[in-house]
Amino acid sequence: MMQQRRPSAAFNRANVNIETRERPGTIIVDTHRRYLYFVENGGRATRYGVGVGKEGFGWSGQMKVGRKAEWPDWIPPKEMVIRERRKGHILPARMAGGPKNPLGARALYLYRGGRDSLFRIHGTNQPWTIGQRLSSGCIRMMNEDVAHLYNRVPNGTKVVVIGPEGQGGRGVYRETGVSAPGLLTSIFGN
């Protein structure tokens, strides 16, 4: 089996210190920096690298996780089918979940006003795209990272998306450094 290319180490999962008014359990996506933060207690967050919408497909705003799925089926939106057909690519009407599926191992379906926005936070079978602007507006994560996040996030979770030019991001958060869990314990004991 061929080893897949990996993104830059800068996009590896990390525990970071964060200043934010958002409550623990909130997801913050900074599409400009290409990071997703899962806010935790005590001024901490788990930071994940993400791939985001290409030029013209960036967006910002608040949504909620309305549905979750493991190894989800992929049904390309009508607009994408039309857009890709113009380029000479024929997309399937539906693709069963699995390792070759573009939604990857897990998907968090983002809802606004109780309706599916058609935007997702999902895994990818193309990990080298993490840190890049290539998607049609969805937030891509490495499969192991989206599975990690999926297990921590219930339906109803608030998602704050900061746009590619920083729109919607003023004062949402400030990362203050990488935290070293267990460092004090290793020095001073329990």
Q: Is 69 helix (H, G, I), strand (E, B) or coil?
A: strand
Per-residue pLDDT of the chain (190 residues; tens, 9 = 90+): 445 678 889 999 999 999 999 999 999 999 999 999 999 999 999 999 999 977 667 788 999 999 999 999 888 778 777 877 888 888 778 888 888 888 999 999 999 999 999 899 999 989 999 999 887 778 999 999 999 999 999 999 999 999 888 888 889 999 999 986 544 434 444 3
Residue 58 · residue 52 · CB < 8 Å: yes
Give the torsion sign (CA, 123, 125, 128, 129): negative
Global pTM reads 0.86
Burial of residue 9 (CB within 10 Å: 0-12, 13-18, 19+) is exposed
Q: How close are the terminal C-alpha atoms of the chain, in Å?
A: 44
Q: Please pick, among 32, 89, 138, 148, the residue that the annotation labels catalytic.
A: 138
Alpha-carbon span 24 to 21, nearest angstrom: 9
Give residue 66's pLDDT: 98
Active site residue 138: yes
Tokens 């069963």 -> residue: 96
Active site residue 148: no
Give residue 92's pLDDT: 79
Tokens 């409550």 -> residue: 23
Residue 26 · residue 156 · CB < 8 Å: no
